Structures are given as C-alpha cells and as structure tokens.
A and B are shown apart, each in its own frame.
Chain A
Amino acid sequence: MNQDKGEKIMRPGSNPWARWRRWALTAAAVVGLAGMAVPAAAQDLYGPKAAQATKGGALTFGSLVEPPALDPYHQAADARIRFTVLMYQGLFYEAASGEALPLLAQSHTVSSDGLVYTVKLRSGVKFHSGQPMTAKDVAYSYNYLRDPKNGSPGAGDLALIAAIDAVDDTTVRITLSKPNAALPMTLGNKYGGVVPAGYFDAPDAKQALNQKSVGTGPFKLAEFKPNSHLALVRNEHYWEPDAPYLDRINILFVPNSAGLIVALRNKRADLALLTRPQDIQQVEKAPGLVLERWPSLNQKALDLGSELSPLGDVRVRQAVALAIDREEIMRAAVGGYGKVIGTMVAAMQDRWGVPLDSLPNQKADIEKAKALLAAAGHGNGLSLTLTTINGYDWMDPAAVTMKQQLARAGIDLAIRRVDLGVWIKNFQSKQMGLTFNDWATQPDPHLLFYRHFHKAPEGADFRNWANADASALLDRGLAETDSAKRKEAYAQFQKALAETVPTVMLFSADHVSVRNEAVQNYQQHPTGWFYGLARTYLKK
C-alpha cells in the first residue's frame, strides 16, 4: 500500500504538474484515513508503520554529507540534524503536513491567555541507558538549551520562554513572555532533545556525545568515525511498540557523488539521498534501483533588498518578478527535479499555501515589466548585480539563465559570486541587495515568515521591506490559535508578499531518494532529515 507514497522518478518535462498533484492527493488521502482510523496521531510519527514489516537486518546508507559531530545542543550543521533526529527526541515532531505532533509529549493544554503550556509527558519512555525519563529531565534539557551561557545556537529560538518547570513526574509547565502559536514546532528536534538531568555537568559531556548517545530515540549510537562512517543500532528500550524495524544502520560518508553512484549500482549502499540533477540522471537508468521524488521545505529564492536604490521602488521589484520564467530557471538549476512555487515552499503548499494562479506577479510578462520599468524612470535600461554563493551548485546555471531572461526586459544583470561567510555577513547586516538565497525552516508559517519578513525590531526584516500591514498579518498569525483563522491570516500575508515582491520564491528542489528494491517503507521527510529510517525495513 505504500508503493505510491514517494513517486517513482520520471524524466523532467513529462508533465511534472500532473504527477505532483497526484502525489499530493495520494498523500493527503493516506493521512486522512490514518487520522480517522486511530485516535492518536502517533501513527504518523516518522511515517506510517508497516503491518507486514520484516524485522531485523542492517541497512547501509550512503551519505554525501557528514556531521562534524553528534552533539545536538552545540552543533548547527544540517548534516548533524539529519542523523541526530534518530537518536534524540524533543517534545514534538515536525509532521510533514506542517503540524507539530506530540512526540515525547502525550498531549498539551494552553492557558486562555496563551502564555502557559502544560505538557503531559508520554509514559514508559526510557533513555538509551535504560533509565526512565521524567519531567525533571525534560525541564533540565530545555532549560540548558535556552540558557545563552551554554552556547547553543538553538537558544535564540526559545528566547520567548520565561520558565520551564517540572510540575510532577509526568507534567512540564512552560511559561511564555508572550503568546506564540508556533511554540510546539520550536520544541521539536532541530536542536537539543531530552537528555538525563545534569548530563552536561560532566566536563567532557559534549565530546562524549560522539561516543555514546544519551537520548530517547529509536536508534542509539554504536560507532562514529569521522571521515568514515557512523553506525546506529536499535534502541532496545524504545517506547514505541514494534518499531523501529532495522537492527542496525551503517551510514557511510561517501566523499563524492561518483563514488555514491557506483556504490548504489553495486549494492554496496542500499539507500541514499541525491541532490544534484547530474547524479540523478546517472542512476535513473540503473536496473534494480528505485528513484523517488519527495516534496521539500527548501526554497531557492531571489531576494530583493530595498536598501539598494533601484530595488527600493516597488515597480522595479515587480518588473524583475515579471521578467522571470521560473520554470526555465528551475530546469537550468536542478534539471527540473523540483517544483515551481509562489509564496510557500512545496511541502507546505497544501496546508498553508495560496494557489499560484490567484497570486499576482507569478507569470512572466515582459511587456508589463518594461512598462513598469519605464514608469519608474528606467525606460533606457537598468543595471543590477546579482549575488550568488560559492559552492551552491544550482546558483550559477540559474544566474546565467536569469541574466538572459532579464535582458529581454532591458535589465542588464551582472553576477557576483561570494563566499558563504561573506554572504551571511551581508545578509545579517541587511545589505543583501539582489541575491539568490537558499533556505528552509521547520514546517510552520510563523517560523517560515516572521523573522525574515516582520518589520524591525520584532523581526529581522532582512530585505528592508518595512511593510507594516504585512507585519500586522504576521502578528495575527502568531497569536491566533484557531487553525482556519490562522491560515487566513497567512494567506493574506502571502498576497502582500506576492504583490510587493521583497522576494521571488523560485522553486523548491525535490529530495530524491534512491533505494534498491529490498528497501521498503522509506519516506523522505521534507526537512531532509532522515526520520524515515525509523520506519524502514528490509525485504528478505
């Protein structure tokens, strides 16, 4: 029944739209059915369980990225998050649909003023050591994470929390300084995860996390050897019944995609995630390998910072948006293995997005772009410089394609490729000008939009958009607890985004997984994290 969950790969260009829609429908149907059949949403954690799953066996996972370390509290690298989510668990799980589902939490209630969250914990949860988890451990872990003195990059996300207390053994009370509807999603698995109280008191605690895992997740650390491999084994104390299915996951850090492709073909690796279209093309025709495309939360975007003089004029920004053919850019950038988007990342489009055809400035219209430029006083042409980031494969082909597109509207585009560190510095100091961007957040509209687009000082407003109306909509979405009203606020916000163009979201690149036929029930989570391994089994 899970065969069609991830769509089989097909040549780009063979009508991706129809296939996409079908995928979305199937997925929605499955989620809906599961929701009806069982009262708790637990069935959806990490993906659907498989009734006929074979237990046992070791899976070899080929990874092009390597975590520099496995400390979920202090390491920011995305490669770290991808693997540590299998070992450490937070209170909530970032469901693919864009909801926070209880993970180590059992349920939660919110006080009427929206400031106090009372979280009931799941019972029977044990750490990898076998020691039972209590509310004390939960309070300790989140308090450690949010204390700036402990140097966690995740502390900033929890700055709105005033206090976390253990009420009794199974209840935790979280007090906020102001209401925040996205709190459950921030108590997820990107940073931290519940560890035994007092864990970090030992002087070498951080480094010890590379030898021994201390979480509650379905897998525990067996061995981590930098530049070589990571081995995870099933947590025999794990709290979910009948899961996970695999006894062991051997993760090989493969330095280049050529090696990975050979390994997949020779069955030296059972499963891998590919990112570059060239690699996908090479595996496509290999017999015995199944390629599946999964929607993602990432967005490849063109940001237009209003501090740069011509871009301060909304007509110029609209003209740029109207001169762009996103479909062509996506084909050049990722070989078509993605989805053109409007104002919402692909994976969240169904739950939180607005249909593209009801948004302004989405379709290329060169004449209108020219007219807008002329009205803005740039009738004789305009020169702009686009910043790209060194090492981001998709940006160079996208940039040269866009250069050609903008030229049709009379915009001369120069390209400036900078180092990531330099780019981040400019971005954070709100001096980004016209730039490509590549980013993702957890699946929640507040986390997606607020910091980027809310006016300063509450938000960072990286693009100097300074839009008070849009900011008010973001405030409404944050405080609103009613799901439908929340969606409406964000829909209105997205229309403002599309209308005045502080950013042009171009496309979301798909996650493409490759597995051999023995690998069953793997679903790629839209974050790119490898949650799906907790539901994967090997057919004998």
Chain B
Amino acid sequence: MAQADTASLPQALPPWHRLVRTARREPAMAGGVLVLALLCLVAAVPGLFAGQSPYAIDVANALQPPSAAHLFGTDDTGRDIFARVIHGTRMTLAICASALLIAAVIGGIGGTVSGFFGGWIDQGLGRLIDVVLSFPPIILGVIVTGVLGPETSNLILALSVIYLPVFFRIARSGAVGEVGKTYVEAARCLGLPEATILRRHVLRNVLPLVLMQYIVQFPLVLQIQAALGFLGLGVQPPTPDWGAILQQGKDAILLAPWISLFPGLAVLITAFALMLTGRALQRSVDRR
C-alpha cells in the first residue's frame, strides 16, 4: 500500500518534501544515512570535530583515562585518542571504499563474463574463485600483504582479493539469469555481437546487484580491515586508523581499555549505520 502511494506521488513535490516523507516511512534508513553523512563530514574535515592534533605526543601524559581534556583518554605516547579516532575516519573509510571498488569492478566484470559465456571460461574462473574462497580471509590478508609489502596500497589490494569472490559470484549468477531471458535470445537471433549484448543488456542488469552488494559488504570489509590493523597490518604509524589504534590498545588492554574501546565503537557504529541503510535499500529493491 505504501509503495503504491509513492508511485502515484506527483513529481512536482519539492525533493526536500519527498525526503522527509521517505525518512518518516523508513526511520531506520534515515538514521543510518544521517550517521553516514556525519561520518563523511568527519572524514572530509576532521579538524572541525577534533581540536587536538592526532600526532602530538606527550610522554608525560601517557595512558591517561578519559577526561575533559582528553575525551577518549590518551595512548602510550600521550596522544589524544579522540583526535586519533576522528582523524582516523578518513583513512579507514577510504581504504575500505577503494578496496571494495576494486573488488566490485574486477569481480563484477569477471563474474558477468564467466556467467555470460559459460563453458571453459566459467569452469576455469570458477575454480580460481573457489581457491581464493577456500582460504580464511585473515590468513589471505596476512599472506598477500606479506608478499606485496606493508604499504597501504597493498592492504587495499589484499582486502580486494578477499572480497573479489563475493562480487564474482553475485555478478555471475545475475548474468546466468539474464542469459536465459528471451530478450537476450532475441538479440542473439538478430545477430547482435556478443560483446554488445553483454555490454548493453547483461551488464546493465548485473550492475544493480553489484551496487547492492557493495553496500552489503561494506560493514564486513570494515571489520576485516580492523582485524588486519589489529595484527599490525594496517596503515603505517603514525597515521591514525581505527585498526591501528586497536592494535596499539591490545597490549595495555587491562591497564588502559579506553584505547581499544573507542576505535572499536567507531567501527561498530559505522557498520551498524551501513547495515541499517543496506537493509532498507534491499527492502525497497525487493518491493519493486
């Protein structure tokens, strides 16, 4: 009933108004989007939120519990955890977003091609993906960054290798579904080149699936990134990043639990907002 309402909504309504309506109908999604927007703002201009420098060390004030001066306390060199969490947002989100982008593009194209052409290409690529999938993700991340070196770009590559199979499979199943449909058969009968069919019809239908998966996988890649950072495979010090702060906190966990508490909460909140948004999107896609 609700969706019928939307469909008949006159387009003349100002976009602002429609936004409010949508928000009222999907409060969870609205909340999620709001948090995400805030996170993007934090990532863009961290200085607006954190007054202190995330780099300034102050050995005399190391391992201080949260206080008015240091909202989230200080780490083992006396740096302000609040500033580091705030300034770490950009790096953390950028790493996850770009890793997923690479995985989505390569996995998406690979999966579509594999599903569309079938045969030995499909068999070969499928086996390859099975091999990647057979490794526990953390182990894969450790090995790949080990081979490539500790640079942040390599961490991104490692994460994209971990998530490639997900996009591959989604795109493949989408493409297989499309291949069976009459319009593709028809286009083939018309003698359109395979590449054109692939580009014009199949890819276009696979794209929304991949996009949806991008949002669904984002919270998971965030967690893996934090886990790799926790193992010391995150960004290079002193650059702040949530996983890296978590790793720092591990050694002093009973003495200074606040070092670990807050970056973990940041991951939790971000993932939570992403999941809310993702689920609401999924619902609206399902309804159509």
* Residues of chain A at the chain B interface (Cβ within 8 Å): 258, 261, 276, 278, 281-282, 328, 331-332, 388, 390-391, 393, 396-397, 399-401, 403-404, 414-419, 421-422
Contact = CB atoms under 8 A, between A and B. Distances in A.
B232 A417 contact: yes
B133 to A, nearest CB: 25
Interface residues of B, number: 24
B252 A278 contact: yes
A446 B171 CA distance: 64
A396 B248 contact: yes
B255 A282 contact: yes
B76 interface: yes
A367 B236 CA distance: 30
Central interface residue in B79, B150, B256, by most chain A CB within 10 Å: B150
B254 A418 contact: no
B98 to A, nearest CB: 20
B266 to A, nearest CB: 20
Contacts of A331: 59
A393 B238 contact: no
A431 to B, nearest CB: 13
A422 B237 CA distance: 18
B76 A397 contact: yes
Given A393-B251, A421-B146, 15 more contacts: A278-B76, A278-B251, A281-B255, A328-B59, A331-B59, A332-B62, A332-B77, A390-B233, A397-B76, A400-B237, A403-B238, A415-B237, A419-B146, A419-B150, A422-B146
A422 B154 CA distance: 15
A391 B251 CA distance: 11
B55 interface: yes
Give the 8 A-B CB pairs with smallest separation, nearest first.
A390-B232, A397-B77, A278-B252, A400-B238, A332-B59, A415-B237, A258-B254, A278-B255
B150 A414 contact: no
B253 interface: yes
Contacts of A281: 255
A331 B254 CA distance: 21
Contacts of B57: 332, 400-401, 404
A422 B149 contact: yes
A414 B59 contact: no
Nearest to B234: A417
A419 to B, nearest CB: 6
B77 A401 contact: yes
Nearest to B142: A419
Given A397-B76, A400-B55, A258 B253 contact: yes
Interface in B220-234: 232-233
5 contacts: A332-B76, A391-B232, A415-B236, A422-B146, A422-B149
A296 to B, nearest CB: 20
Nearest to B150: A418
Contacts of B252: 278
Contact of B236 (A282, A328, A416): A416
Interface string B145-157: 0100110000000
A328 B59 CA distance: 8
Contacts of A417: 150, 232, 236-237
B188 to A, nearest CB: 52
Contacts of B238: 399-400, 403, 415
Nearest to A329: B59
Contact of A396 (B59, B237, B255): B237
Central interface residue in A396, A399, A416, A421, by most chain B CB within 10 Å: A396
Nearest to B62: A332
A281 B76 CA distance: 13
A418 B236 CA distance: 9
A282 B56 CA distance: 26
A281 B254 CA distance: 12
Given A390-B233, A400-B238, A401-B59, A416 B76 contact: no
Central interface residue in A261, A390, A400, by most chain B CB within 10 Å: A400
A385 to B, nearest CB: 9
Contacts of A400: 55, 57, 77, 79, 237-238
Contacts of A328: 59
A194 B236 CA distance: 46
A139 to B, nearest CB: 43
A27 to B, nearest CB: 30
